[in-house]
Chain A
């Protein structure tokens, strides 16, 4: 039988603060992390709002050597991992490195570094490109830096699954434990905002002027965000042996690929439906068991309509409370579903459903039970985290109160 997988620690770097509790508190208060972009010049881009992590100082979390050898995206990962290990009460040196894997998601990794390297190349030719900066670049490096920081010596893997990357990493990380490949998995995702990436979303016509209104009739698109959320996953035996208190249990997960269009979701949502149903059934539940949905909810016209239709089909019209925290922290791309997972875990703990802010008019095409503008409390045994992504990706993960996943669930077989 596959082991139960517990989340025993979480770390968050976000536009709304650091650490899972502060993060969720800000979400419950309905605060917005969106403001004018300060990281780069937006004058020629046509949009100038984002949810940046403005006060991040790498040296608050990283050693001087770590800060020297990492880019901002990796630094977000290390910061999150340190918080997660502290949260899990797993001190440095206490883990068996060879049985610990690091699996992280991202969309573009150290995108700002490649922009910097290319600027130097254009300005000064190849000699302007510094080897020390070259060695900081590479999507591969995210888990390598984290493995060094935490003492992991098992698998080090990046799953660049675009905006579903957090769910991919958590889902695959949980499967590594269930399939006996690791006892501890440090997982999650990280993303930073690069100028080209920001501009690209604008050129796709996907970016709203100044606020993100998921599921709203007047929604105008997404707001780009950044951050990281990193988790400690442990096998039940490992967690129990050391007396860890689980925050939540990771249930089943579902993935699919629309194979339809590189950026647009499939209009019938076939992949999304499959991912949602597989996550629920693999957890040993039916749709009736799900208490709350942390939706992908990007606030683009296409995404929200397709997602809402899929949710209604899977839940057969049952009005399950749905919210998109992207209304507050923007679309953090690869890190989005990891940050949403951090919120899901807090919801499982305390029963607070974070609101979808800026929600004013119901869209008949998005006929779901939106937790509008104010947080509310409700049943919180089983929470669903949904994500869609570039490349036609769909991924959904179930989080539950520890022990709530039925022992006969397919994911535990």
Chain B
């Protein structure tokens, strides 16, 4: 791939909004506060433990106006995107600093959500089911369309060059990098905000509960420890990052400390026709090998890994097997899902954000395994593993 520089970061997670707070969380948060849900009735789910952005308030970033018909997923995307654009020095007080105010024609957004706005889909379906379809609120209906959230991001942030929502389950946020690289490489934009968001909803919780993938209270939950951990736990939030070609970033005087230099993605079908879920070490291994080749690096060049492990033992085991095959031995791993939970379509964005601040600021991620994190880490492998045999990897390097 043509290397892309990361020039800004925005984030929304439990107790943290914005770059500084995300850096602090990366440095300090060994384990997130997994608590009983507040966004839905906890009494229906005894022992449920999730991470919610309970104190999230978009108003300080977005103002009070225009939020009435916008759902939680969209607010996450909006706040993280504005944070990222301001962090990149492209905007101040929501206004473009570059160009004559028409910079929006060369700026875009391309990001992932695995499930879209279940809040809106269920809300409207309930009205149709329990009252009548004739009472559906037309101002809320657009939110049921998966790309609506990023449509609002373009409207609020004046991003007119490109706008693409990307779905590939847990791998979508890293996939958004390749889509952005393609858009930048075909001269469709100069700056693209990439990343992902996912919003907590009871329907999402119910789905994973039905699939028996979650660790309730009292059961061990330790992403990256496949022998001990008994399940995953959901989280929510958003991380968005601005990416640009290096020449463009240099021209506008943006720091070019961290580059994405390699991308690999792969799919491996389940061995049995009756299966849908496939936690595939082969897919992860292939995605990793492709990303390393793309970055023109050998496995030994990688200093550490930002893992996709979420605490579901078969899921974490697949990654461990793949890493052993590629690296021949253990690598230090940042385990972001210990801090943020399994954020699905946003998971790769939390991982990439962690890699970015680790390299840009020399931060040692607190959520990691016991292997010593290299003091001068320069090259990180960021992994995402899907539930269906899909996997994506990227290489991130410090200049």
Chain A residues with CB under 8 Å of chain B are 44-46, 63, 65, 68-69, 98, 102, 107-109, 114-115, 117-119, 121-122, 126, 129-131, 134-141, 143-144, 147-148, 152-162, 168, 172, 175-176, 179, 181, 195-197, 199-205, 255-263, 270-271, 274, 278, 282, 389-393, 410-411
Given contacts A200-B144, A262-B152, contact A122 B266 (CB under 8 A): no
Q: B273 near A63 (CB under 8 angstroms)?
A: yes
Of the residues B122, B137, B162, B167, contact of A140 by C-beta under 8 Å: B167
Q: Which of B276-292 contact A (CB under 8 A)?
A: 276-277, 286
Of the residues B114, B132, B164, B211, contact of A161 by C-beta under 8 Å: B164
Q: A44 near B267 (CB under 8 angstroms)?
A: no
Interface string of B171-185 (1 = CB under 8 A from A): 010010011001001
A126 to B209, CA, bound (A): 10
A131 to B213, CA, bound (A): 11
A40 to B28, CA, bound (A): 53
Q: Which of B91-128 contact A (CB under 8 A)?
A: 104-105, 108, 114-116, 118, 121-122, 124-126, 128
Q: A262 near B388 (CB under 8 angstroms)?
A: no
Give A156's nearest chain B residue, CB to CB.
Answer: B267
Of the residues A122, A134, A152, A161, contact of B129 by C-beta under 8 Å: A122
Q: Is B52 an interface residue (CB 8 A)?
A: no
A390 to B138, CA, bound (A): 13
Q: B104 near A107 (CB under 8 angstroms)?
A: no
Within the complex, the shortest CB–CB distance from B273 to chain A, in Å, comes to 4
Q: B138 near A119 (CB under 8 angstroms)?
A: no
Q: B155 near A262 (CB under 8 angstroms)?
A: yes
Q: B145 near A118 (CB under 8 angstroms)?
A: no
Q: B163 near A205 (CB under 8 angstroms)?
A: no
Within the complex, the shortest CB–CB distance from A143 to chain B, in Å, comes to 8
Of the residues A114, A126, A148, A411, contact of B125 by C-beta under 8 Å: A114
Within the complex, the shortest CB–CB distance from A22 to chain B, in Å, comes to 30
Give B151's nearest chain A residue, CB to CB.
Answer: A391
Q: Is B369 an interface residue (CB 8 A)?
A: no
Of the residues A131, A156, A159, A259, contact of B154 by C-beta under 8 Å: A259
Chain B residues with CB under 8 Å of chain A are 44, 104-105, 108, 114-116, 118, 121-122, 124-126, 128-130, 132-134, 136-138, 141-142, 144-148, 150-152, 154-155, 157-169, 172, 175, 178-179, 182, 185-188, 203, 206-207, 209-212, 265-270, 273-274, 276-277, 286, 386, 388-390
Q: A258 near B167 (CB under 8 angstroms)?
A: no
Of the residues A118, A135, A138, A172, contact of B126 by C-beta under 8 Å: A118
Q: B210 near A155 (CB under 8 angstroms)?
A: no
Write out the residue numbers on chain B whose beta carbons fall within 8 Å of the beta carbon of A175. 182, 186
Given contacts A137-B207, A175-B186, A176-B182, contact A44 B160 (CB under 8 A): no
Within the complex, the shortest CB–CB distance from A176 to chain B, in Å, comes to 7
Within the complex, the shortest CB–CB distance from B142 to chain A, in Å, comes to 5
For the complex of A and B, 4 pairs with smallest distance between CB atoms:
A391-B151, A199-B133, A200-B141, A257-B163
Give A122's nearest chain B residue, CB to CB.
Answer: B129
Q: B160 near A257 (CB under 8 angstroms)?
A: yes
Of the residues A138, A202, A391, contact of B150 by C-beta under 8 Å: A391
Give A254's nearest chain B residue, CB to CB.
Answer: B188
Given contacts A129-B210, A390-B148, A391-B151, contact A153 B266 (CB under 8 A): yes
